[in-house]
Amino acid sequence: MLAKPLQFSDLTLDDPNYDEDLTSPRLPGDSDSRLMEMLAAQAAHQVGPGFEDEDVIATDEKLSDGEKKDMLQKALHMAASNGDVDRVKKMVGGKAKPYIDINGTDEDGSTPLIYASCFVSVLRPS
């Protein structure tokens, strides 16, 4: 799945609606709303299924390969977005490796690298 392209309404330097744009309410798809949605999804994944030990998931005979892939891919996205380097290393080099795709996208088209680059700087300011 490809990422959605950015949409700019007007890039001219002489925008007659400049003041109006600053005072008008933001659209639901603005970056602040999107950030809040992503943080909420991150929190939900931390307490939801798939955030337990990845080796347990990978070796669970009761789970199908599809279920393992789904759970472990979500766990990889969460580990990357939290800056959990040790967990990412364990996943890409351990029993979970056959079930994850480091370039795999989530439902929004984002990869673990995108989450890592966005959230690690937001959650861990320098």
Q: SS3 for 85?
A: helix
* φ, ψ for residue 24, nearest 5 deg: -80, 150
Spatial contact of 112 and 102, defined as CB atoms under 8 Å apart: yes
Q: Spell out the long-range contacts of 69-72 with Cβ–Cβ below 8 A and sequence spacing 24 or more.
A: 69/99, 69/100, 72/96, 72/99, 72/100
pLDDT for the residue 109: 87
Which residues 6+ apart lie within 8 Å of 42 measured at CB?
A: 78, 81, 82, 119
Report the C-alpha gap between 37 and 58 in whole angstroms: 29
| pLDDT, tens digit, 9 for 90 and up, residues 56-78 | 999 999 999 999 999 999 899 88
Spatial contact of 91 and 84, defined as CB atoms under 8 Å apart: no
The pTM of the full predicted model, rounded to 2 decimals, is 0.58
What are the average pLDDT values for consecutive 10-residue runs of the chain, which has 126 residues?
61 60 52 71 54 83 93 89 85 93 88 80 50
Q: SS3 for 60?
A: coil
For residue 93 the two structure tokens come to 């080099």
Report the C-alpha gap between 72 and 91 in whole angstroms: 8
Q: Where are the domains of the chain?
A: 30-123
